Amino acid sequence: MEPARILLTIGGGIAAYKVPELLRALQKQGHAVRCAATPAALRFVSPLALQSLSGEPVRTALFDPSEESEIDHIRLADWADLVIVAPATADLLAKMAHGLADDLVTAVLLATRAQVLVAPAMNVNMWTHSATQQNLETLRSRGVLVIGPESGELACGWEGAGRMSEPADIAEAASLRLGTESLQGHTVLVTAGGTAEAIDPVRRITNRSSGKMGFAVAEQAARRGARVILVAGVTSLTTPAGVVRLDVESAAEMRDAVLAELAGATIVIKAAAVADFTPEIVEEGKIKKEGLADQSSLVLRLVTTPDILSEVCGLKEDRVVVGFAAESDNVVEEARRKILRKGCDLMVANDVSRVDAGFDVDTNAVFFVTPDGEVEETGLLSKQEIASQILDRVEKLQGERLE
């Protein structure tokens, strides 16, 4: 197997002296590592040491013609399977949170589509400052992974949280996130986004789903080596790397796409917000006010849409099927009822009345509900992290099935 490609970006903190050790630890785990450093980082760690260990020049300058001609920041960003920021200074975290790109490291961090893992290290007061904590929150909500910092005696003389995690721990966290290939050989069929039900050629009924949860599931499944087919409803999101996307609009179209792909799928994860009702009649021409019998109101008759999850569960065979329940009241009770009614293996229930979870935000807080009524609550996490936890559970169910 090809070694995983890790771009190690280094910030200007004292903990940069530990980076050669981190580089060695990553290499020992079989990864190919390249280094990029901020100008401040080079005050703390010798580029010669990094170059000798990595066997590659250390990239530092955005505008150096010799560096840029050899490999520009976009190619470096595209090259990486994983980007580590260690030490992640308060300054780098702020720049990342705000999308600044005024040097090579920050430009790469903005351009990359790879998973980013940050290892913060700083003085305890810098760490606990609300600016830093808010920047961290922003980054977490975008799916950036954070390791550490540890508490203890700091180089600045203060005691508290701010010490960079040990190189061995960072290397292990990186390896865990990299091509575990744990879903290799599987085809994961994911649905995402809301559906849109046409009223006439210009109007439609839709819902507030952004598709972010389902897209995160598709992205994480692809990272684990699965073939991923993403049936996407109404969404403005870009397709995650390595994912085959099929765009649909209505619940009926989503049903057709899912059933057409079902035969090849070993895992089905239905994160889409499928409309429960659709207009009974789709008018061929635009409905005009003047044409109404009663000019003050329009009556639309809605009929129920096909229940895709139940249909998929009816054809389940050996597949693992995961459903989602978006509820605003009695979330867990509704999810318990729904999993029994539908017959899937796991229900992911979220409270869509919360502002920080559910529709159109980067975070979610869900309950995992099993057919025997067991419930586990995640707390507020990024949708990428929730996606990862869903896939961990799916893999466990697959494993139990093979025993």
Ligand X SMILES: Cc1cc2nc3c(=O)[nH]c(=O)nc-3n(C[C@H](O)[C@H](O)[C@H](O)COP(=O)(O)O)c2cc1C
Residue nearer to ligand X on the CB measure, 127 or 367: 127
Binding to ligand X (CB under 6 A): which residues in 25-64? 38, 40-41
Q: How far apart are CA 278 and CA 198, in angstroms?
A: 8
Residue type, 100: L
Binding to ligand X (CB under 6 A): which residues in 86-145? 89-92, 121-122, 126
Residue nearer to ligand X on the CB measure, 16 or 188: 16
Tokens for 135?
A: 């920047």
Binding to ligand X (CB under 6 A): which residues in 285-304? none
Q: Which of 4, 5, 11, 322 binds ligand X (CB under 6 A)?
A: 11
Angle among Cα 359, 275, 229 to the nearest 5 degrees reads 75
Give the interface segment with ligand X, choosing from 10-18, 181-189, 234-242, 362-370 (CB under 6 A): 10-18
Would you call 344 a catalytic residue per the annotation?
A: no
Q: How far apart are CA 118 and CA 170, in angstroms?
A: 9
Minimum distance between the CB of residue 226 and ligand X, rounded to whole angstroms? 36
Choosing from 35, 156, 313, 344, the catalytic residue is: 156
Minimum distance between the CB of residue 122 and ligand X, rounded to whole angstroms? 4
Q: Which of 6, 7, 8, 14 binds ligand X (CB under 6 A)?
A: 14
Give the interface segment with ligand X, choosing from 11-19, 72-80, 244-252, 261-269 (CB under 6 A): 11-19
Kindly state whether residue 149 participates in binding ligand X, applying the rule CB under 6 A. Answer: no
Q: How far apart are CA 307 and CA 312, in angstroms?
A: 9
Pairing of the two strands 366-369 and 375-377: antiparallel
Tokens for 88?
A: 């992640």
Give the interface segment with ligand X, choosing from 12-20, 46-54, 214-222, 281-289 (CB under 6 A): 12-20
Minimum distance between the CB of residue 32 and ligand X, rounded to whole angstroms? 24
Minimum distance between the CB of residue 229 and ligand X, rounded to whole angstroms? 41
Minimum distance between the CB of residue 86 and ligand X, rounded to whole angstroms? 11
Residue/partner pairs of 125-134 with CB below 8 Å, 24 or more apart: 125/158, 126/90, 126/162, 127/90, 127/160, 127/161, 127/162, 128/160, 128/161, 129/90, 131/90, 131/94, 132/90, 132/93, 132/94, 134/97
SS3 128: helix
* Cα 146 from chain centre: 14
Binding site for ligand X (CB under 6 A): 11-15, 38, 40-41, 89-92, 121-122, 126
The residues annotated with a catalytic role in the active site are: 156
